[in-house]
Structures are given as C-alpha cells and as structure tokens.
Structure 1
Amino acid sequence: MFSAQPSTTSHPTPTPTAVPPPATLTDLLLAAVEHHPDSGLRHCHGAAHLGYEDQSHPELLDRARRILTGLRARGLRPRDRIVIALDRAQDFLPTFWAAVLGGFLPCPLAVPAGDPAALTERLRHVGALLGGPLTVTNAALADRLPPAAHRQVVRLEEFDGAEPAEELHRAAPGDTAVLMLTSGSSRAPKAVMLSHAALLSSMVAKNGHQRLTAADTTLNWVSFDHVAALLECHLLPLSTGSRQVHAPAAAVLDDPLEFLRLIDRHGVTMTFSPNFLLGLVAAAAGRLTATGESLDLGRLRHVISGGEAVVVPTGEAFLRVLAPYGLAPDALWPAFGMTETCAGSVYSRGEFPEADRGAEFAGLGTPVAGLRMRVVDEAGRVLPEGEAGELQLRGPMVTTGYFNDPRATVEAFTDDGWFRSGDLGRIEDGRLTLVGRSKDSVIVNGVSYFSHDIEAVLERLDGVTPTQVAAFPTRPADSDTEQLVIAFTPDLPVGDEAGLHGVMTAVRSTVVMHWGFRPALVLPLPAEAFPKTSLGKIQRSHMRRGLESGAYEDHRRAAADLRQRMLGGHTPPEGPVERVIAEIYAELFGVDPAAISATASFFDLGGTSLDILRLRAKVAQRLGVTGLAVVTVLTASTVRALAALVTGRIRTGTGSDTGRHPYDPVVPLQTSGAKTPLFCVHPGVGEVLVFVGLATYFAGDRPFYALRARGFNDGEKPFASYPQMVDAYVDAIRARQPHGPYALAGYSYGASVAFEIAKVLESEGERVDFVGSFNLPPHIKYRMEELDFTETATHLASFLDLIDKEQAALLPATLRGLPKETQVARLIALAPAARLAELDLDEGRFAAWAEVADALTDLGRGYEPAGTVRAMSVFHAEPLRGTREDWLEHQLRRWDEHTTGPNRYLEVPGEHHTLMGARHVAAFQAILRRELDRCMAGADAARAAGGRVRTSLAGGNEK
C-alpha cells in the first residue's frame, strides 16, 4: 500500500458511460474499494517519527461491515441517530462508514480531553437534540461517563470479532447522510443535515478547483467533528482514489513543526490549515535553521486555509520562511466554506499572495461549479459589485436545514431560497472577500464561539450586572487569529478596587475553565458605554469599532493599571533566565513580556493546572530543562523563584528537574489582596492542585494559601502521626501569619485537619474567625477504616479523573491481593494519556502519590474528634453515597457537637468530587467568598485600617 504509483488494476466495462457516477456515499466507498484497492488511509501514531499503520480501502470497508453487524445487534434501524465520540481516525472513520452502510445518521462529536463532565454535558444536549441517539465511543471514555449515561452508550471494542454484514442499506440520493454540529464550542449547537446528493455534488465541485488524482496524498490533523476533516480531507480524497494521512491534532498543536515533518515524511500534496497554525509554523521555523533539520516540501501543491480569515502578512511569512524547503510561492489557498455548504466551496486558487498585496485579509477567490453567491443589503436587495452586504449562497451543496429545528431552518433561508451565511462580504470580478459577520460570534484558532453563550455564563457571576455583558472579537494588527474581548458593567460600590479586580479575575477564569482559552481583554465599562438598539440589544459590532478606534482607551488603561497594582507593582526581570521565564509567562497569558514582573506569580497571572503542562514544554524547549515537576511550579511560582531553580539545574548540568525541594507545607496559590489570608488544607490525596482554579477567584481580594502533605519530594517521609501533621501545619501557618484572626478551611479529609489546627491556635490564645468544612463531617474514622491501599489508590485515581466513579467502585475487588506495583500499573493503564501528561504522572509518580495518600488514611484511622472551636461554616454538596438530606442531617450536622456557637450550613452545587471543578467552581467561590467576608468582616476592617497584621504580597512572613 502507498506505493509510488497508483493502482493499475483493470475493471473492464463496455463503455466509459456504463459506470454511473456514485449516487450515494455507499457507492463512493464501494467505488474506491473496486478501483483503488491498493490505496487507502495511513494512521499516524503521533509525531512523524512515531510510526503509523496503513489501512487499505478494502480493509476500511471490512471493518465498517463488522461494526455494522454490532450496531444492528443493538437494534438500530435505518434513520436511527448515532453520536460518534471517537478521537482516533482509525476508530472514527470505520464507525462513520458503518453508520452510512446501515442507513443510520452519524453525528460526530468532539471529545474534550480529560474532562468527563464536559463530555457528559455535551452528550446530554446532543441527546436531547437528536432524540435519544446511541453513542459509540471507546471503553476508556465510556468508563468515565456517569452510570446513568451507559444505557445509551456502546463501546466500540464490543464489536471486535463480529462477522462482516452482508446486506447494505440502499439510501436515496436525497436522504440525509450525516449530521454535523455547527460549532464544537457552542453549548447549544444545531445539527446540519447534509444529504448524499449534496456531499457528492460538493466532492465533484471541489475537485474542479483542487484537481486531485490517485497520485495525490492528503494530510489531515483536524478532529472529525470539524466539517473540513470529514469532507475536505476524507471524502474528497476517497472520491479521487488519493492516499490519505491522518495524524492526531495534539501532534501538530504541541509542536507546529510536526506539521511540516508529516508533510515531508509522507509526500503530502494537499493539506488544510487555519490561519493560526500558519502563524505558529512561521514563528517556529527558525528552529529548523538553528538545528539544520532538512525537509522537502516540494511535493506540497496546495494548503487550503479556512476556518478563519487569512491574515495577509501571516500567509506571506508562512510562504517566505518555507520557500528554502521547496514550498511553492503560490501553495497557500485561502478558502471559504461552512458546515452548511459541505466545507470548502470558494477557493483562491494560486492567487495568493499576488492578488492581496497590501490588504489586511486575503481574498477568498471564486466559487466552485454550481455554487451561486450574492450580496444583499438589510432590506434583502441585491447590491452592485464591490459593495459590502450580507453574503447569501445557493447550490446543490447547500444544506436543506437543521435536524429537529424547523425554526432555525426557516430563519436560515430567504423567501426565495437563498442561504443566509451570516457573513458580510463583497464580490468583485467574481472573487469573494469577507468584511465581517452579521452573526455575533468570535473565531479563535479556527473555532467559533457564540457571543450569547459566553455572556449567558458570565452574567451569572457576582459583581457583574446582568444584561450588561458583551463578548465580541478584535484582531490586533500582529495577531494570527481573532481575540475575545469581554466588556461588562460592575455591580459594585464605587471605588471598590479590590472587588473590581476580583470580578475581572473571575470573568477571565470562568472563560478559561468553560472554553479553554483566555480573553485578550476584560474591560469594565459604565452602563452608558454599551450601545443598544431600541429593543435593548447590545450592539457588539459598534463596541468592536469603538474599541479599535480608541474610544475605550481610558477604561482599558485604568483596567491595566488596576491589575498591575493588585499584582504588587512591577519588578523588571534580571538576567537571561529570568527574562526567558518572563517571556514564557507572557506567551502563556497573552500579554506583553514587558508587563511581566519578576515577582509575578504564575497563579496570580491566571495560570491553571492545564497551563503547567504548557509551561513545562516551553521551559524544556527554551532552556533545556526537562520534566519540570508540578511541585516546582506550585512552590516556586514567581518568575524569579522559578528562574533560580532552573538556573540551578543548568549549572549542575542535570538538565532535568529532580523534584528535590525542601518541604514547606504552604503553597501560595494567590498572594494579592489586603484581606485576611485563607489557608486551605489538602484533601485525603495530600495534593493541592484541586485548589488552583478556586484560588484564581481570590485575586486582589485575599491571599489564598494551600497546605500540602509531606512525602511528595524525593527522600521525604510522610507524617508519622496526626498530631505531628497538625503541629507542622500550625507552625507553617504562623510563619506566614504570626497572629490571628485566622481563616482556615479544609476540603474533604482536610476539614478535620483544619478543625484541629483551629483548636491549637485557639489554645494558644489566637482568634480563629472562620473554620470551613468542604463537605466533610467530623467523624472520619469509620471511612478511613474502610480504606486499605487498594481502596486508597483507586480513590486517588478517581479523584484525579484517571478512572470514573463506577470503575472506582468495581476495581478494588479485582485488584486487592495483587502486588502494589501491579495494582498501580493496572490503574495507570486505564488512564487517558492526555490526563497523565497534564498531571505529569507515570507509574512511579502515581505509586509515590498513592503511598502518601495511604499514609494519610492510616493517620485518619485513629482520629476521633474532641473539643470545640467557636463556630464552623459547613459547605455541603452531593455526597459520595446516599442522599444529600441524609448526609446533611445525620453526618455533617454532627459538627454542632464540636462548636460553642451556632454553625452555618451552606448548600453548594455539584458532587463531592466536582464542587470545585470547571462546571461548579464559579458558583462555589461566590458562596465561599460571601461567607468568608461575613465571618472575617471585623478582621478585614482592622487590616484595612492598618492593624498589626499585614499580608506580604511576595508570600513571605507577615509582621
């Protein structure tokens, strides 16, 4: 397979016209099998050097037939819907074809990496939209879903060994072939119906421009929920007998140069890239020169660039820096297409960059055969050539509408049958140029995010005025993609700078946690700065123009000054390592390197646990220090502290982070703010990563310190007794804050520890005004006695999202009695690779972590609560087992036995393991901060008035 020459197998026919063109996708696949049996698909394992596996067209058909047998055995019939949640091409494509061959309606769904809650929520919505479809996924993903979802979920592995189906469904050309969701980011996407006839018309039309043959090789690295991956990079080459190379997205996004290496290694002649990747490749290409790496890009005939506007300087730089490697000067083809138009339908073929010199954005060229374009004004009148208006489209490749959404279908078309694209454009000499969008959305790195989705989440935050939130795009002159701006009116007392900074941080953190990227600008504005229609709708396009014309410059500058003050001022980095670390921080957080202070904390700047992985990669790439441990970032989070540790690795020549750090229980996750610090004790797993997202909401309000167990560092022994642990934590807290009033809290196991710390502090004559329990009763001995090493290790794996709750319940019975190292190996084998990478875990590190957790469990077996504190604030979520009511009344309220004053019991959303997760943390932090402010009002007022206790912004001792 993948020989240099296309197949020459002869298939005699009476005349060329005796073989009709395919009428359905089934005909398309069967034709590829018959006429191009030696061609097919190459599935890369990752980076170019990691190898691949080939799959011929007949092998693709055979596996699809076997999966079809399994689906039919589940009772599926033609027209039934199937959600395909599979991230590997070698799994997705045979499953897609099984659905087509059976007459089912496949709907590709993006698989969020390491986030089962997000996948569950996405499945819930799509399930409601499609009327209870079957979801096909793999065992690892299925096992991470809640048990209630399993009734509608089937594991692909269940079909292994099935016999290939003989009978195939014969669809009509007008039947719907696939349902494509309009956006992988929207919380309420629509399902676009694409028929067999539309798809096949599109393939023929596309190839009128692209001219692929059986001698071509295409490359795809985009997930199959994106219409370009399925149509442009699979169905199109399938229709021409071209060879296809499919690589995982992470291989390219983790190192953009892998895009070029894959092209070189596999002789690629056509591929796809949004503008943001063009920019990343151009920026990274200097490394090729530095290392002398040799690449041959001479066979690459064209790169289709769609999904977002091509910035002319970015495209020019891409072509320029890759010219020495053989890339043709006209190889970049800016293109336009939508899910509703079967992906690419307008191409600038060989016209870029000559036709676009001096422009900001590239023109998009001419439409494929059969597609008609027009531009109309607000009244629907067709505009003359060159005038800008709404772009409307018509042709055989345009969708007939949206599944189960007649209202959206009607709204998408004009009375005379033209599809409303939602884009603003102009047509000159038959060439299309886009000038904006009439639909309110932001396109970041090729993905659309709808403004109203973002606003609906943010307006629920404390301190944000409902209906006074606007999410809109901007694109700085030097940016390769659009950036998100969030404007809002604060709901705060005038002059409350700390409160305003906290709200700005909450807005930024919420966007990161929900959508995975940072807004470029969070802009507080007075209500009168929001232009609105007569019906009260915010005019986002007017706000964008205002921002880009400088109308909000005073507000923008004031927000930047406030943030800088709250972060403790600016200390310029010194020396080459500090400057490189500052540059890395700036890249991670999308700010000017000159704005990064040497005393700026990774977490104060908005760093998350996900960012730690990116930080590790950049430090290895730029400074040669590999394996940067999570604890290094946790305990040395400022530019200066991290640079000092990295410099030590460089000087000793180790080139790696050994993880040997002096033990200090206190991890400063957030150090700004003038209020009394909050000290939070770790849960039973001993680590404090669970607090990272929560701590960001305290920026500018009060410092947030986490207490980390002993035993994680190399050669470090876990605590030998419960009193030893408590005394160590008391000493560490008093080193940071010598005198009260104190604010303490603990999550799960940590609540009992926080209670004991409070008792010691009160016995020493100090005041403790807040003691918080995050969903734990005072009596834990009975639970600790249930846990042996097997239960503890399994619980730890579940806590870290390596396995799901159901696995955690079932696995101990199969693991108990095996050697510890075998138990660890089996748990790690079940974990998603992306989650292990995110947490920097392997068998050795997980085993060490499990030993720490087991040691803490052992301490808890002998723990009996005694004595009292003044009062407790108990935050209750769904328990691990039983009902919330029973949990509250018969377990949590036993804290009343251990306080001299009345306790408060506060309900928070989520379950025990998810109350601080991405979905619930914004609501939880608001409840927690209100309660803290109530309890600490007197102490906070005294500090504000210049009392004896002052918080050190640098995280040092307080005096």
Structure 2
Amino acid sequence: MAPVAVFPTTDFVTAPNTLHDVIAQAAHRYPLHELGFITSSAHDSSIKTKTFSAFNQDVRNLARAILEWGKPRGSIVIVYLTEHEDNMAAVWACLLAGYLPCLQPMLSAQQAHKEGHVAHINNLFSSATWLTNELGVAQISSIPGLEVHLLSVVKSLGEKFTVAADWVAYEPKPDDDAILFLTSGSTGFSKAVVHTHRTILAACRAQGQNYGLTSESKILNWVGFDHVAGSLEFHITPLLYGASQLHVYASAILADPLRLLRLIDEKSIELFFAPNFLLSKLTHDLEQRTDLFGCLDLSSIKRINSGGEAIVSKTAQAFVATMRKFSKNPSAVSFVIAAGFGMTETCAGCIYNYPVDILATKPPREFLDLGRPISGCEMRIVDPADGATLRPDGESGELHIRGPMVFVRYYNNTEATSSSFVEGGWYRTGDVGIIENGAMRLSGRIKDTIIIHGVSYGIPELETNLQTVEGVTHSFLAAAPYRAPGQETEGFIIFYSPTFDLNGADASTKLFATHRALRDICVKMIALPPQFVIPIPVNQMERTTLGKLSRARLISLFKKCEFAKHIARAEELFSEVRGATFIAPSTNTEKALAKIYAGIFNVAESKVSASDNFFELGGTSIDVIRLKRQSEKHFDLPDIPTMQIIKHPFVSSLANYVNALLSKDSQIEEYDPIVPLQLTGNKTPIFFVHPGVGEVLIFVNLAKYFQNERPFYALRARGFEPGHPLFASMDEMVSCYAAAVKRTQARGPYAIAGYSYGGVIAFEVAKRLEAMGEEVKFVATINIPPHIAGRMHEIGWTEGMLNLSYFLGLVPKHDAKDLVPVLRPLTKKEQLEVVWKLSPPERLVEFQLTAEKLGRWVDIAESLIGCGKDYSPSGSVSAIDVFCAIPLYGTKVDWINNQLKPWSNFSRGEPSFIDVPGEHYTLMNFDNVPQFQKIFRGRLEARGL
C-alpha cells in the first residue's frame, strides 16, 4: 500500500480520505497560498491569482448554485470548458455538490464525428448534464436532446450564496466514484475511466512523495485540465501537499518557449512537465538567443517530469546544457529530468526514473530509462500471448501494472473492463517494455496508435485513407510507429505493395506519384510525413495466419535490414525522377542558400537543388523567420524582407534577389497583390485575401496542407514596399484584386476566401468576377459579418494600432482595450513609443520590427479601415460559406446569430455556417490550423472543387 503523507499535527484531518478533505485541508492550513492562471488570450505573462481560501469559498458557492438544477446525487456532469480555472472550479463544484464530473476534451470540428461522439456519450451515461461556456454551446447547439448549462450563468448564481467554508452537500466515502476521464478514442469512441477518491488519493500521495513536494513547493503546469496529468498530477497532488500552482494555457508556452524560462525565473518554479518534443523545441528555438545567456535565475528548478513519449537522451542532455547557458549561476542549476510512464487508467505518472543530473551522469542508452514504480505500485513484464507468463530480466514483453492508483472500471463497459485485467488484479497497459535490474524501459506499443508530439493518432483511420491512393494494392498497406536512432520524437513507416511492376518502364513516375500522394494524406491527417515509404512486391508481403499484415513483424524485418533491397530500388527510381529536374547550385550565393536550406530541413547539402521550393520542402512561417535571420547574418545584410523570401522561395530566385541587394541594384518592384504560397496540384486554385492588418504570412502554415492538391495564392495589401501608395477606396482595392486574380487564373471556376476583414473583400471580388461572366463556385468569409461600416467608424488610428499590436502579440488583449483612452491624447509618435516599450523583445525580433516599420504597418491597417467606413454590402454570390470562430468580444452564440447569419441575405444558394476551432486571432496558428484545414477542405469539396 502507498505510504500515508505526514502532515504537521493540528486540529484538522491529518490524512485525507476523500477529495473533499483535500480542498478543505488546503484552505485551512495554507489559506494564502495561491493558484495562478495564464489564460488562452494572454499574449504576455500576466497572471490571475486566487488564494486557496478564496478558491475554496468560490467553488463551494458554485456547488451550492449547481444544486439548484435539482439533479439526484451521483448525476454525471460533462465538464466541457477551455481554461484551467474554469475547469478546476467546475470539477470541485460538482464534487462538493455530490455529482460525478466527467472531463470532456475538445470536441472534433468535424460535425459527423462530433455528433457520433456526443451520441456515444449520451448512450454510455444514459443521461448527463453538460456544463460549458459560450463556445461549447455553439459547438453542440446543433445536437438535439442535450441538457446544457452555461458556467457564466452558474457563476452569477453562485455569487448570491455565501455558504460556510466547510459546506458540502454530501460526504463521500473513499470508494465512491469521484471523477470520470475519457480515453482518447483514437481507435474508436472513448471509454470512460472511473477513478474513486481512494485511487486518486493513492496516486497523489505517492506522486507527491516521489517528487519531494512540500507546502513551500511551486509547480507550473501547461497540460490541459481534461488530461489526468493536468488535473491530478499537477493540481490535486500539489494541493494535497499545500504547494502553490501556476497553470498556463498550452499555446502560451508552445508559441513562446522563452515565456517558460521567464516564469521559472520570476516565480521560482521547482517542478514542471515537459514531454520530449517540448524539450527538443525549447532547445531548438532558444539556441540562437545568446543575448539572454546568463540573464535568468533558474536555480529554483529541482525536477522536470517528462512523459507521453520516449525521451531521447541526447535531447535531454542538450536541453539541460542550453538551460545552464541561460542561468545567472550555472553551477547552482540542477535541471534533473525524471522520465516517467503513466496512463489515464493509472492517474497519470506511476513509474519514474530516479531524477539525476544527466550532464554529470551520462545516460546508458539512447532513451532515458523509465525506472521504478512509485510507492504502492507494482510492475511486471509478461508474454503478451497469454498475459501471464513472466519474461526473464532483460527480455521484452507486455507491461502490466498493479496498485491502489489503478482505475476500478470502465463506466458501463464490463467487457472492456474484464479484458483489461488478468488474474491477480494486474492491468494490461498494451505497451511493450523491458525490466532490467529493477528498472523499466519501453520498447514498443501493442495498441493501434501512433504518438506524435504527445498526441495519439489512430492507425486504422490513417490506413483506411492511405488505401485509397492509386498505386496501392488494396489491403496490402500497413502504417507502423517507429523511432529511428537519434530521432527526437516518434514517427511512422508505411509499408505497401504497389499495383505496378517496380521494374517496369514507367515505374519511376508511378512510384513518385504514389509516394507523393501517400505523404500528402499523412500531412493532412496528422501534420507529419512518414519517415519511410517502403514498396514491397505483393508476393513478398507476409500475412499472419488470420490474413492480417503484422505491423510488429514488418518493423522487426525493417530493423534487421530485410527490406534494404526494396528501399534501394525505390531510391534508384526516385533518383531517375530527381535527376531529370535536379539543378546543382552553381553560384556562391546559391551554394550558401542551399546550405542554409539543408540545415533548416535537416537534409544533406548535396540533395538541395537550385530549383527547390522552400515551402514544398516543408517550410513553415517560423522557418521563414529562420531563413531570413540566417541569410541576413551570412550575407551581412541589414534586412531581407520576409515577403521577398515568400515571393522567391526557390533557391535560384532567392539567390538572384540577394545578389541584387548585395549589389545595391534592387529596384522598386511593381506592386502585385498576388503572393504564391504553394503552386503544386491540379485542382482549382484558392485565393485567400489578407485580414485587416494587410499581411499574408499568417497563411503560410495553412498553404502547405494543399501541396500537390491545388495552388494557394494570398492577396497582400498595397503599401508595405517603399513607393507603393495606400489604397484609397474599397472599389480601388477590389478592382486591383479582381484583375490580379484574373491574370493568375484566366478562367473560372474560382475559389475565393477571406480571413476577418478580408472576408468582405473576398465577397466583393467574387461579385466582380461574376459580373465579368465568370463562375465562382466557392466564396468563404472567415469570422467577419457583412455589415462592418459601424465597426470601422469606431476604429481610429489609436484603435487600429492597438488591434494590430494585439494581433502581432505585442500587447495582451486587455491592454489593447484599456490603453485606448490613455493613448488618444498623445501624438502618433508618442503612442508608438508606449506600445514599443510594452512589446516583448522576442516578438519584435521575430517580426524584425522597428518603430518606423510598425508605424507604417499601422498606416496600412488604417487605410484598409478607411476603405471600409462607407461599405454597405449589396448584391449576392452563387453561394457562401461562413466560418465561425470565437469573436473578439461577446459570446459566440450572439456572434453567429446576430452578426454572421445576415450573410444569408447575400447568397443565392444555400449558405453554410461552419464552426471552427480557436479564437478570432488564433484560428490560423499551429494549434488550430491542422483542424481548420480539414474543415476548409471539406467545404471546398462539398462545393464541387
């Protein structure tokens, strides 16, 4: 059994038996300790704090308000919220009210999958109440038969109550159900994991003991609260020990890794979680920030937990080495990394490597060992065939776990529960591991999932889509997870049998087309290409006795180099194709750029052709900034405009442009609004109009998903380049854009889309093309209403500057609003100086901004606003698709019903209103664009394109 946590003797409970005891004890003993929150909308590090005492009072008042629903004790409440604080408050309120909270991760934006999941949940629980926010309501409003409550309404009601600080509606017993967690559902619909007060407390006591937590500890968490790591390991566990907590929305860390270091410095953080991919990203993104070396106090960190995927030893070592460079006192830094294993079924981490300084003690293997179980937990390795025969020390087999922190059952699913346990109460994890000298390490996975950057993807769904590719023999394709030696994160390999003869006369062109199609599907579905695509003749593709392709067998043969001849043949064929188009870089400038390209994409310099396109190689918006900085440094140039890199993505064309800069022979280019971001594919091109800030770099990450499918063009506003005048009217801008679209694509059908303010422009361009007799089959507006004039009149130079600054991440949302009355009396120059001082230096560096450039950018944005001040929509287009994200202000329900729905008046055909993930300014970022592109592509196809 897990040891009982020892607390100082007081008149209070010394060993909590239920979660109710945990929050009561925290508020009683440590009333002034704090919970801190950085929200999804915060562009800076502003932290909202709440003391344990205040939080305890708030959630008990909230619990009292929830009782007004009149639900019987034990009723299930689906908690579907975004922010950590809201989730936290809702879960505690449900517990204290005697209800059973079930944490719901973000629903799919695909309507069919979303409806199927919700129907499954309703069936699983018989009946359940949803507690959500305005965004959640908008996402599920189309699904009938749901009882939905808004958290904002419940909070308002809760403010009317002031219950006692120890008030509860029901005193639970240790073995009562406490919280339900939904599994990922990567291979089907989710199962609901049932954890009791006893299982959760057993895990939290043992975890806190393993981490060395005390009431003086300070932890940082960025994992979502719907995940067991976010809610249990990094909230209830530290709460049990009285530790202060800072919860940060994930995108705030992923978008700006430096923010993590600043928070460690400012808040004296002792413990945080960082999976392997984040360690790699932090190291990679921060390696160039030599200006901050020796500037931060990182001595508070005692331990970094890591899990979700295997941790590469070299990655962990490089991370620690980089962090010490940033530290004011490197010798005082002990960045120890504790690699761990855990599952939803085990209340998160239950096996951890003993934390050691990996720079002082070199890891013995390529991946960090996972080590030994926490107190009360047991592990064993058995033969997966019978689930019982123990494997000898050092031999791999299926990992089993047993202990008081293991879940009790899957809700309303006796079959899944029964199949998950074997005699003796051992839980079958489905992972393959090795135990040697008492320490465990994973060596594979039995389950049908691929884990990429900590996110699980279902293999069957991926394989189903890959099977549709021309050139693939039906049912002779398998995708298997694989991590190459030295690779930082897990990837996958595709094995398949081609329908054509690999020795045929046209084998090279067919193989190239097949592999390109397979790669494109992978990128679109899981945002990552396969490491290898291996064509194997059908008579050499082995099947099991049940007629299935064995992924484990294929990977085993691959590791033994049994497929070397097939890989070599594929390389020969690709060389034939590539030899016909490869152009060796010839000038010094081309050679230098080829070397930079090679470094960014981690390929051999000799493999980079002068004809290679930066974006077709996989370049992202972040890679553009890297190319810009490295090129400026190499060629000793003060500035290579980002847009010129986008306009000259080929090695040869960028070399010509750089040569012109070096010779000071560059001339003012004639303005062309068209910026080609992706030129491959035969389907109808898509033209994307800029948002109100006029720039189009934001579309780079979206464009790559259309490679080999359809060209992707962006329309950029006039005025960024010296000598180019600003647009004076909407008519002038629309005329210019319509003419540019016609020059680029002579005949219809056309597909036009616009993001934010660009949606109105896209609508007008479509009308202009129709007036020319052309067919426009697709018109998309993204989060903009048709009637904008009123809003445009409200935006002056000051508001425009602050809107742009918020869009660029220079000021947080609340500052953008609060600064308006402060800045208005100042001159434009003085206003810019204020914003400049508030701006994070790393953002200014990223955008290569100067005060002068920012001022010019504001002028461009203001000119666009001016073009819209007298705009009144009229006429119609054949059909319109309206994409709806969270608005800047107000609720999403009101935004859709009262602001976006009027687009129906300007569509001759049936309009569609499509929910998309993210907020107005975040739906194109790395977190949301993978999902957005799927939805957007679906609408293109629905319109016949």
Root-mean-square deviation (CA, aligned residues, Å) is 5.3
Residues in 2 aligned to 1:110 and 1:573: alpha-carbon distance in whole angstroms: 53
In 1, Cα distance between the equivalents of 2:62 and 2:590?
54
Q: 1:517 to 1:310 in 2, by over 3 A?
A: same
Q: Identify the residue that residue 918 of structure 1 maps to in structure 2.
A: 933
The alpha carbon displacement at 1:344 in A equals 1.3
CA distance in 2, matches of 1:819, 1:44: 28
Alignment of 1:601-750 (within 5 A): 601-606=613-618, 611-612=620-621, 615-616=624-625, 619=628, 635-639=647-651, 662-664=670-672, 666-672=674-680, 704=711, 706=713, 708=715, 715-717=725-727, 719-720=731-732, 729-731=741-743, 744-747=749-752
Given residue 918 of structure 1, which amino acid in structure 2 is its aligned partner?
Q
Match of 2:86 in 1: 91
Question: Which among 417, 421, 430 is matched to residue 425 of structure 2?
Answer: 417
CA spacing shift, 1:746–1:923, aligned 2, 3 Å: closer
Which residue is equivalent to 1:655?
none
- Listed one character per residue, the Cα deviations across residues 243-277 of structure 1 (whole Å, up to 9, x for unaligned) are 22222323332343443332232222222221222
Which whole-Å CA distance do the structure 2 matches of 1:635 and 1:423 have between them?
47
The corresponding residue for 2:392 is 384
Q: Is contact 2:690-2:714 (8 Å) kept?
A: no
Bigger shift: 613-622 or 416-425?
Answer: 613-622
Counterpart in the other structure of 2:379: 373
Amino acid at match of 1:480: E
Partner amino acid for 2:22?
Answer: L
Query: Taking structure 1 as reference, are residues 679 and 921 closer, same or farther at Cα in structure 2, changes over 3 Å only?
Result: closer
Partner residue in 1 for 2:490: 482
Structure 1 CA distance for aligned equivalents of residues 537 and 870 of structure 2: 54
8 Å contact kept, 1:694–1:925? no
Does residue 268 of the first structure (1) align with residue 263 of the second (2)?
no
Shift of 1:398: 0.5
Contact 2:512/2:574 (<8 A) preserved: no
Cross-structure match for 1:396: 404
| More divergent stretch after superposition (822-831 vs 556-565) | 822-831
Q: CA deviation at 1:381?
A: 1.3
Q: Does the C-alpha gap of structure 1 residues 100 and 519 become closer, same or farther in structure 2, counting only changes over 3 Å? A: farther
Contact 2:399 2:432 in 1 (8 A): yes
How far 1:425 moved relative to its partner? 1.8
Partner of 1:347: 352
**Distance (Å, rounded) in 1 between the aligned partners of 2:294 and 2:631:** 17
DSSP 3-state at the match of 2:57? helix
Does structure 2 conserve the Cα–Cα contact (< 8 Å) formed by 1:296 and 1:326? no
Q: What is the one-letter code of the residue matched to 1:469? A: L
1:25 paired to 2:37: no
Q: 1:918 to 1:468 in 2, by over 3 A?
A: farther
Identify the match of residue 777 of structure 2 among 768, 774, 777.
774
Gaps of 5+ in 1: 1-8, 653-659, 735-741, 760-770, 777-795, 865-873, 894-907, 933-959
CA distance in 2 between counterparts of 1:117 and 1:578 reads 49
Assess if the C-alpha contact under 8 Å between 1:681 and 1:751 holds in 2. Answer: no
Q: Is the 8 A contact 1:774 1:875 kept in 2?
A: yes
Contact 1:909 1:920 in 2 (8 A): no
Instruction: Give a deviation string over 1:526-561, Cα, whole Å, max 9, x none.
Output: 444543212232211222233344414225525754
Pick aligned residue for 1:447 from 455, 477, 488: 455
Q: Provide the secondary structure at the position in 2 that maps to 1:280.
A: helix
Q: Cα–Cα, structure 1 residues 564 and 152, in superposed 2: closer, same or farther, change >3 Å?
A: farther
Q: Distance in 2 between matches of 1:728 and 1:49?
A: 39
Q: Which piece of structure 1 moves more, 405-414 or 190-199?
A: 405-414
Is contact 1:616-1:628 (8 Å) kept? no
Query: Cα distance 1:927–1:104, how it changes in 2: closer, same or farther (>3 A)?
Result: closer
Contact 1:666/1:708, CA 8 A, preserved across alignment: yes
Change (3 A) 1:84 1:490: farther
Q: Does 1:536 align with 2:547?
A: yes
Q: Quote the residue 1:553 is aligned against.
A: 567
**TM-score, reference length from structure 2:** 0.72
Give the structure 1 partner of residue 178 of structure 2: 177
Contact persistence 2:792–2:869 (CA under 8 A): no
Kindly indicate whether the alpha-carbon contact (under 8 Å) linking 1:177 and 1:196 is maintained by their aligned counterparts in 2.
yes
Cα deviations across residues 484-540 of structure 1 (Å, max 9, x unaligned)? Answer: 333445568973766654554444344334434444444555444543212232211
Q: 1:715 to 1:912 in 2, by over 3 A?
A: farther
Structure 2 CA distance, aligned partners of 1:452 and 1:119? Answer: 15
Which residue identity is paired with 1:32?
A: A
User: How far apart are the structure 2 equivalents of 1:154 and 1:580?
Assistant: 57
The answer to whether the 8 A contact 1:502-1:698 is kept is no
How many residue pairs end up in the alignment?
Answer: 824
C-alpha distance after superposition, 1:651-687 (max 9, x if no partner)? 99xxxxxxx97433554344457x7x95556689999
2 CA distance for matches of 1:83 and 1:465?
Answer: 44
Q: Does residue 296 of structure 2 align to residue 295 of structure 1?
A: yes
Q: Is the 8 A contact 1:11 1:35 kept in 2?
A: no
**Residue 851 of structure 2 corresponds to which residue in structure 1?**
none
Quote the residue 1:318 is aligned against.
319
Provide Cα deviations, 1:18-77, integer angstroms capped at 9, x if missing partner: 835212111111111111212232224699973423221112212222433443445554
Q: Does residue 444 of structure 2 align to residue 436 of structure 1?
A: yes
Residue 846 of structure 1: how far off its partner (Å) = 6.8
Secondary structure of 2:297's counterpart equals coil
Q: Greater CA deviation, 249-258 or 744-753?
A: 744-753
Provide the TM-score with structure 1 as the length reference.
Answer: 0.71
CA displacement at 1:294 relative to structure 2:
2.4
Matched with 1:80 is 75
Aligned equivalents of 1:74, 1:613: Cα separation in 2: 48
SS in 1 for 2:393: coil
In 1, Cα distance between equivalents of 2:74 and 2:858: 45
Distance in 2 (alpha carbons) for counterparts of 1:117 and 1:369: 44
| Identity value in percent | 26
Q: CA deviation at 1:237?
A: 1.0
Q: Output the amino acid matched with 2:52.
A: H
Asked whether the equivalents of residues 581 and 619 of structure 1 are also in contact (C-alpha less than 8 Å), the reply is no
Matched letter for residue 616 of structure 2: D
From 51, 54, 59, the counterpart of 1:56: 51
The 1-side partners of 2:334 and 2:220 are apart by 20
Q: Tell me the distance in 2 between the aligned counterparts of 1:30 and 1:394.
A: 30
Match of 1:334 in 2: 339
Alpha-carbon distance between aligned partners in 2 of 1:500 and 1:910, rounded to the nearest angstrom: 40
Q: 1:692 to 1:213 in 2, by over 3 A?
A: closer
Is the partner of 1:43 in helix, strand or coil?
strand
Note closer, same or farther for the CA distance 1:448–1:81 as it changes in structure 2 (3 Å cut): same
Counterpart AA for 2:31: P
More deviation, 264-273/333-342: 264-273
Give the secondary-structure state (helix, strand or coil) at the position aligned to 2:367: coil
User: What's the counterpart of residue 569 of structure 1?
Assistant: 582
Counterparts in 2 of 1:826 and 1:708: CA distance versus 1, 3 Å? closer
TM-aligned CA deviation for residue 242 of structure 1: 1.4
The alpha carbon displacement at 1:918 in A equals: 3.1
Name the structure 2 match of 1:426. 434
Q: Which runs of 5+ in 2 are unaligned?
A: 1-6, 754-762, 814-842, 848-853, 885-895, 898-903, 918-929
Letter in 1 for 2:55: L
Give the equivalent residue in structure 2 for 1:600.
612
Tell me which amino acid in the other structure corresponds to 1:332: I
SS at match of 2:53: helix
Residues 469 and 632 (structure 1 numbering): CA distance in 2 closer, same or farther, change over 3 Å?
A: farther
Supply the AA of the counterpart residue of 2:933.
Answer: A
* Residue aligned with 1:918, SS: helix
- 8 Å Cα contact 1:422-1:437 kept in structure 2: yes
